[in-house]
């Protein structure tokens, strides 16, 4: 506890440097298991800095990027002030196809959109943004996933008499609050006024996300030590006797237990790999 790994001493990969409350200490080891995390919790020490010491030793490392994260959307000032903090319940989001999508809940924020449904799709959304460039990428929201497109069209085209379109949508489709606000935010006046277009957009509303939230505030990170830099025991090819596990590896998983389970599993592989490495060299573990 309260030790921070500072890399290796000089050119000796069998001696680690640590910053401690009592000053810097050097520790010699026959095997070293690194599980130093990603870069998404710098306030707790998981800032990705440890990987710079591996890069200096020629280890193939991909720069960390946000994962299980929210995304920025350029909301208008009116929409942001009115709906930031509002939950968006019972919606479906599609990333690469406007039809279908995953159903769940998310949250409108001052900066954009986040929440469990967005986190589950964050890898696909990030990939799409990376391909699209600085302009960001569109995702599609189905504001009435429990209803077919035909049913939504019939309800929108139902005669509304003297009622406004907003009142009509609330009465026929229960679209009010933040969902109604999204329609106003993402559609032009002409699109909102055209029943055919409006019905189609209720089932596939384009929202442009421009970038992931900063890595320091997201749940986890992706990228890290490439698997090609490891052997089957999770030992670094360039640094025999040094093993890697957890979020510092180049992979990602959804939050909600999957991420932890995968980290624990990779730790098991690295631990068994280290034991095999020691046994092959006739090195016994000490009781202390």
Write the pLDDT tens digit of every residue in 13-30: 899 999 999 999 999 999
Decide if pLDDT at 132 tops 70.
Answer: yes
What is the structure's pLDDT at 287? 65
What is the structure's pLDDT at 115? 95
Class of domain 4-66+221-280: alpha beta
- Percentage of the residues of the chain whose pLDDT score is greater than 90: 86
Instruction: Please report, for the chain, the start and end positions of each structural domain, with discontinuous segments joined by +.
Output: 4-66+221-280, 71-212
Q: Greater confidence, 281 or 256?
A: 281
Write the pLDDT tens digit of every residue in 196-240: 999 999 999 999 999 999 999 999 999 999 999 999 999 999 999
- Residue 243 is encoded by which pair of tokens? 């093993």
Decide if pLDDT at 153 tops 70.
Answer: yes
Decide if pLDDT at 286 tops 80.
Answer: no
pTM, 2 dp: 0.86
What is the structure's pLDDT at 111? 96
Q: With cut-offs at 50, 70 and 90, classify the pLDDT of residue 256.
A: confident
């Amino acid at each position: 506890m309260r030790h921070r790994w500072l890399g290796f001493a000089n050119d000796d990969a069998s001696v680690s440097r640590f910053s401690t409350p009592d000053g810097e200490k050097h520790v010699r080891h026959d095997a070293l298991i690194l599980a130093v995390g990603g870069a998404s919790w710098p306030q707790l020490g998981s800032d990705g800095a440890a990987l710079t010491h591996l890069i200096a030793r020629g280890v193939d490392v991909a720069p960390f990027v946000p994962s299980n994260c929210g995304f920025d959307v350029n909301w208008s000032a009116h929409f942001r002030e009115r709906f930031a903090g509002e939950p968006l319940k019972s919606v479906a989001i599609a990333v690469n196809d406007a039809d279908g999508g995953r159903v769940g809940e998310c949250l409108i924020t001052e900066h954009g959109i986040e929440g469990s449904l967005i986190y589950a799709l964050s890898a696909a959304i990030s990939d799409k943004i990376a391909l699209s460039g600085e302009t960001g990428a569109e995702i599609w929201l189905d504001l009435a996933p429990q209803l077919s497109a035909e049913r939504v069209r019939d309800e929108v085209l139902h005669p509304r008499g003297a009622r406004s379109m907003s009142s009509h949508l609330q009465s026929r489709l229960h679209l009010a609050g933040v969902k109604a606000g999204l329609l106003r935010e993402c559609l032009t006046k002409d699109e909102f006024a055209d029943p055919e277009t409006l019905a189609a957009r209720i089932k596939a509303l384009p929202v442009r996300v421009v970038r992931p939230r900063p890595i320091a505030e997201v749940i986890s990170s992706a990228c890290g030590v490439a698997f090609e830099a490891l052997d089957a025991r999770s030992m670094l090819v360039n640094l025999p006797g040094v093993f890697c596990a957890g979020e510092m590896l180049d992979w990602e998983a959804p939050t909600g237990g999957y991420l932890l389970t995968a980290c624990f599993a990779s730790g098991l592989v690295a631990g068994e790999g280290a034991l095999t490495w020691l046994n092959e060299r006739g090195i016994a573990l000490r009781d202390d």
